[in-house]
Structure 1
Amino acid sequence: MFPSKALLSILLIALSAVDASPLRREAASTLTFTARMNARANNANIVDADRARAQAMQHPTISKRASSSSFSIASSGTVYTAQVGVGSPATQYTLLIDTGSSNTWVGAKTPYKQTSTSVATGNSVSVEYGSGSFSGEEYLDTVTLSSDLVITGQSIGVASSSPGFNIADGILGVGPTDLTQGTVSNVASVPTVTDNLYSNGNISTEAIGVYFVPGGGAGELTFGGFDSSKTTGSVNYVPLTTTSPSSEYWGIDQSIAYGNSTILSATAGIVDTGTTLILIATDAFNKYQSATGATLDSNTGLLMITSDQYANLQTLNFNIGSTSYGLTPNGQIWPRSLNSDIGGSSDNIYLVVNDIGSNSGTGLDFINGYSFLQRFYSVFDTTNHQVGFATTSSTSAVSN
């Protein structure tokens, strides 16, 4: 079900505009993941997939059992996987990192191998994701994320059925605990991997830092805070929004300006790694399209601009709390080396800002997705109910 603070889909940390030292964890508590394009997996473009996900988030009562990350699992333009060990000796599984669901499970491709640490609970487990699902049995087992992130007695699902999953062995669920409610028989909810890392003393704060590299490739998920070696400035924090339905996820309040002109007044939306693009309310999108002079490309669903229009592109400013995060012209365009992956022409210039599908005033008027987060380090802090952002060496990179 959807919780009151969900979607690690990912990433909030709150209140002050300075680093909070208890949140700092260095690379020893970091899990490396691989990002890759999945845009054409279901013959749908990334705009369709992102907008479908957004609509599900805007109407959470439609499917209380389905994770808001359902569209990211089988349809998202970008997926993230990590190698995770289960058992002792550990079997390595390729798991999707999902910030919008919280059950960890294996068995979609590589079969679960029982070892001396495997304990069958006798409970059944079932999770529906909209575009996929899994069902099977619950086990308690040792889960190894890294040499210093080892969890004993972690609840995992062992899939006997997993329709819709053909790109990984299962899921590493790093969303809020509430998302596990109703998924395992005979228990109200089960602790997530982050819960257990915190309760076992592996991490001092139940927070997760996320670092992306523009254009895909490797990234890092840091448990217990953030990796300061990846930031070039202070982490600035804002509290979670109280506006529904954004408050059901990792929601924040922000305004957006193109150059010196506000295109979206202060409103609520969410931060979500499971969304590939930056989605904004229709009225704001229309202002952005008009200001840039872009035209809509029917093949990709993305806005397209000429080289001359790119030369005149202005910074897109995301005003969050007391800080403005400027997305440079280069940060607003789709990586040209990946144009063919989305069905586009190698010579075209596409923009990563798109229409969420409804006018502002829904309570979820924007999604700062992967295209925003690859330029800024982000932190999701469950303990303090907040989200944080910091600049990185990629913030102003000319990489697209």
Structure 2
Amino acid sequence: MAPSLLVFYYGLTIFLGSATVFSSPVSLPLVHRAPASGVSKLDIVQRGIGSTPNRPRRGARIRRGDVTLQVTVGTPPQHFLVTADTGSSDFWIGGPGSYGMSQTFDPTSSSSYEDKNEPVYIRYGLGSFTGTVGIDTVTVAGFTIPEAVVETGLSTSTAFGFSDMSGIMGFAWGQLSSSGLQTFTEQLVSQNMLAENKFSVYLGRALNNLTPDQAASNGTMPAGSLTFGGVDSSTYTGDIDYFPIVAELHWVVQADGISVNGQVVPDTNGIQAMMDTGTDLVVMPDNMFDAVSKAMGATVIQGAAYVDCSSMPTNVALRIQSKDYHFALEDLVRGVVDINSKTLSQEFGFKEGTQVCKLAWEGGQDDTEDGQTPMIIFGDYFLKAWTSVYDIDNKQVGLAAAAPASSLSTMSDVVNFYLKLQGADTSSNSSTKATGTSSAGSSSETSAAGRASDGLGGIQLLTLIMSLLGAALLSCHLV
């Protein structure tokens, strides 16, 4: 059929019947959505339990916020922010039974909704979803699918209740879909709506210019872009390196391992690497977590790795086909603990006056893509340094250096950035504090099996466990 109308909308578009075909890539902004107003500023910034004014704040994990995109569902359209997740395949929106979501989908208000009367259950790395399968009109970035699969929540776990995201749109392969029906991406491809059958993700660095009050606000802030049908050339520099995926499930590639100071950590040899925008940390099997933490000179306390900021290695990378894809300095760290009291010194095992970096990875990952090869999940703390490309036709993942790169070029910059974001006074933090001598305890490490007994006193251990538990509850690791 000859095109009936040509218009310029996000570039040249061609209307063929009811389908809109875009002849060039289409980018839409991603946003970080700050947590719901019911969560305190302290929890947002520190991801821990509240501390009193007389008690120093712990450098628990910084909340970077969910990376979300705007979608509309139904007739008339209902608007939602949903997490853009390359680590799953389902598209769901919270319904009336969903926990703590400020916006939920009401199927009875949509004249185009069709209930398939099929239940669906999805388990994520943290959190779960129970709902029902339906069909309705869904629009993303000008792409409209009249009969898209929409899973509506009957109940969701508390893990999804601490931010204003209303659901998840998965961009992994359709074989993972819980409904067994075509995913949104598969429908775009089958209806020939994309300029190229690929999409790409660029994650911005909005937090770098925020004050603590801004970080704790309930507004949105730029978080990069998602491009359908190709790659936005303004989001990267240099070449795009492509690697074949292991299977048509997740976006997983074969890797050499994780390198520290130019050497692959032996326990990570031959890993598979999953690119997952729905996870913020780097999540690995316990033995690899212990090995990488040891290579970093870190102490493992209750499942988190802490290292003297002044002595931690800064040359850390994912190695694929003998080439290193480095973490940005700031993305190695998810918080800073200023050891400024005897109590904190006893709890963390570092000398007073030490600034301790909490590293951006954790253990507990035991899934595999092929049933046998260990896998590490590389979330936003890695992907912020790389524009990632997901090539459907050629079944490959691409990586290119993100532009602009991080502006934090020294560990002193990183330490001051996190202390500022955590609300600490950084005026007295000189560069010497981030380049001094490490504490005697900073090179010790605890195995995965022995993390529950770190030699802390009863009160200190209980306080630390509560802080870390609060961090976990406020985290949303979508694996």
Normalised by the length of structure 1, the TM-score is 0.68
Question: Unpaired segments of 5 or more residues in structure 1?
Answer: 1-23, 46-75, 184-188, 338-343
- CA–CA separation in structure 2 for the residues paired with 1:84 and 1:319: 35
Task: Tell me the CA shift for residue 254 of structure 1.
Answer: 1.4
1:97 to 70, 84, 95: 84
Identity %: 25
- CA–CA separation in structure 2 for the residues paired with 1:252 and 1:379: 12
**Aligned AA (2:194):** I
Alignment partner, residue 172 of structure 1 = 169
**Aligned AA (1:350):** K
Alignment partner, residue 473 of structure 2 = none
Given that 2:205 and 2:406 are in contact with CA atoms closer than 8 Å, whether structure 1 keeps it comes out as no
Given that 1:375 and 1:394 are in contact with CA atoms closer than 8 Å, whether structure 2 keeps it comes out as no
Matches within 5 A, 1:106-121: 106=93, 107=95, 108=98, 109-112=103-106, 118-121=112-115
Task: Tell me the CA shift for residue 287 of structure 1.
Answer: 4.3
Task: Tell me the CA shift for residue 309 of structure 1.
Answer: 0.8
Task: Tell me the CA shift for residue 322 of structure 1.
Answer: 5.2
- CA–CA separation in structure 1 for the residues paired with 2:32 and 2:363: 27
**Aligned AA (1:134):** T
- CA–CA separation in structure 2 for the residues paired with 1:279 and 1:364: 12
Say if 1:122 and 1:237 are closer, same or farther in 2 by CA, change over 3 A. Answer: closer
Task: Tell me the CA shift for residue 317 of structure 1.
Answer: 2.7
- CA–CA separation in structure 2 for the residues paired with 1:207 and 1:91: 27
Matches within 5 A, 1:220-259: 220-241=225-246, 248-255=249-256, 256-259=258-261
Task: Tell me the CA shift for residue 318 of structure 1.
Answer: 1.9
Given that 2:236 and 2:387 are in contact with CA atoms closer than 8 Å, whether structure 1 keeps it comes out as yes
Task: Tell me the CA shift for residue 363 of structure 1.
Answer: 0.9
Say if 1:316 and 1:92 are closer, same or farther in 2 by CA, change over 3 A. Answer: same
Alignment partner, residue 303 of structure 1 = 305
Question: Unpaired segments of 5 or more residues in structure 2?
Answer: 1-22, 49-62, 208-220, 338-347, 415-479
**Aligned AA (2:131):** S
Given that 1:209 and 1:222 are in contact with CA atoms closer than 8 Å, whether structure 2 keeps it comes out as yes
**Aligned AA (1:260):** G
Matches within 5 A, 1:192-203: 192-203=183-194
- CA–CA separation in structure 1 for the residues paired with 2:309 and 2:47: 27
- CA–CA separation in structure 2 for the residues paired with 1:308 and 1:393: 27
Say if 1:173 and 1:112 are closer, same or farther in 2 by CA, change over 3 A. Answer: farther
2:386 to 348, 362, 376: 376
Given that 1:94 and 1:170 are in contact with CA atoms closer than 8 Å, whether structure 2 keeps it comes out as yes
Alignment partner, residue 278 of structure 2 = 274
Given that 1:36 and 1:80 are in contact with CA atoms closer than 8 Å, whether structure 2 keeps it comes out as no
**Aligned AA (1:302):** A
**Aligned AA (1:228):** S
Residues 1:265 and 2:263 aligned together: no
- Rg (Cα) greater in structure: 2
Task: Tell me the CA shift for residue 239 of structure 1.
Answer: 0.5
- CA–CA separation in structure 2 for the residues paired with 1:124 and 1:397: 49
Alignment partner, residue 326 of structure 1 = 326
- CA–CA separation in structure 1 for the residues paired with 2:284 and 2:149: 37
- CA–CA separation in structure 2 for the residues paired with 1:304 and 1:271: 24
Deviations 1:177-200 (A, max 9, x none): 12235x3xxxxx322111222233
Task: Tell me the CA shift for residue 385 of structure 1.
Answer: 1.1
**Aligned AA (1:239):** P
**Aligned AA (1:205):** E
Given that 1:136 and 1:161 are in contact with CA atoms closer than 8 Å, whether structure 2 keeps it comes out as no
Say if 1:248 and 1:101 are closer, same or farther in 2 by CA, change over 3 A. Answer: closer
- CA–CA separation in structure 2 for the residues paired with 1:293 and 1:212: 29
- CA–CA separation in structure 2 for the residues paired with 1:274 and 1:163: 16
- CA–CA separation in structure 1 for the residues paired with 2:282 and 2:270: 16
Given that 1:269 and 1:363 are in contact with CA atoms closer than 8 Å, whether structure 2 keeps it comes out as no
Normalised by the length of structure 2, the TM-score is 0.58
- CA–CA separation in structure 1 for the residues paired with 2:237 and 2:407: 13
Alignment partner, residue 213 of structure 1 = 204
Alignment partner, residue 144 of structure 1 = 139
- Count of residue pairs the alignment pairs up: 323
Match of 1:290, SS state, is helix
Say if 1:132 and 1:279 are closer, same or farther in 2 by CA, change over 3 A. Answer: closer
Say if 1:303 and 1:206 are closer, same or farther in 2 by CA, change over 3 A. Answer: same
Task: Tell me the CA shift for residue 353 of structure 1.
Answer: 3.7
Given that 1:137 and 1:159 are in contact with CA atoms closer than 8 Å, whether structure 2 keeps it comes out as no
Higher relative contact order (CA 8 A, sep 6+): 1
Task: Tell me the CA shift for residue 203 of structure 1.
Answer: 0.8
Residues 1:389 and 2:399 aligned together: yes
Match of 2:239, SS state, is coil
- CA–CA separation in structure 1 for the residues paired with 2:326 and 2:143: 35
Task: Tell me the CA shift for residue 138 of structure 1.
Answer: 1.3
1:79 to 60, 66, 69: 66
Given that 2:113 and 2:137 are in contact with CA atoms closer than 8 Å, whether structure 1 keeps it comes out as no
Say if 1:346 and 1:334 are closer, same or farther in 2 by CA, change over 3 A. Answer: farther
**Aligned AA (1:351):** L
Alignment partner, residue 134 of structure 1 = 130
Task: Tell me the CA shift for residue 366 of structure 1.
Answer: 2.1
Given that 1:110 and 1:169 are in contact with CA atoms closer than 8 Å, whether structure 2 keeps it comes out as yes
Say if 1:157 and 1:365 are closer, same or farther in 2 by CA, change over 3 A. Answer: closer
| Greater mean alpha carbon deviation, residues 97-106 or residues 205-214 | 97-106
Given that 2:271 and 2:373 are in contact with CA atoms closer than 8 Å, whether structure 1 keeps it comes out as yes
**Aligned AA (2:82):** L
Alignment partner, residue 373 of structure 2 = 363
Alignment partner, residue 315 of structure 1 = 315
Given that 1:117 and 1:142 are in contact with CA atoms closer than 8 Å, whether structure 2 keeps it comes out as no
- CA–CA separation in structure 2 for the residues paired with 1:163 and 1:251: 27
- CA–CA separation in structure 1 for the residues paired with 2:283 and 2:110: 47
- CA–CA separation in structure 2 for the residues paired with 1:116 and 1:82: 21
Matches within 5 A, 1:30-41: 30-34=28-32
Match of 2:271, SS state, is strand
Matches within 5 A, 1:150-169: 150-162=144-156, 164=158, 165-166=160-161, 167=163, 168-169=165-166
Deviations 1:81-121 (A, max 9, x none): 32211234321123233333333233244242556760425
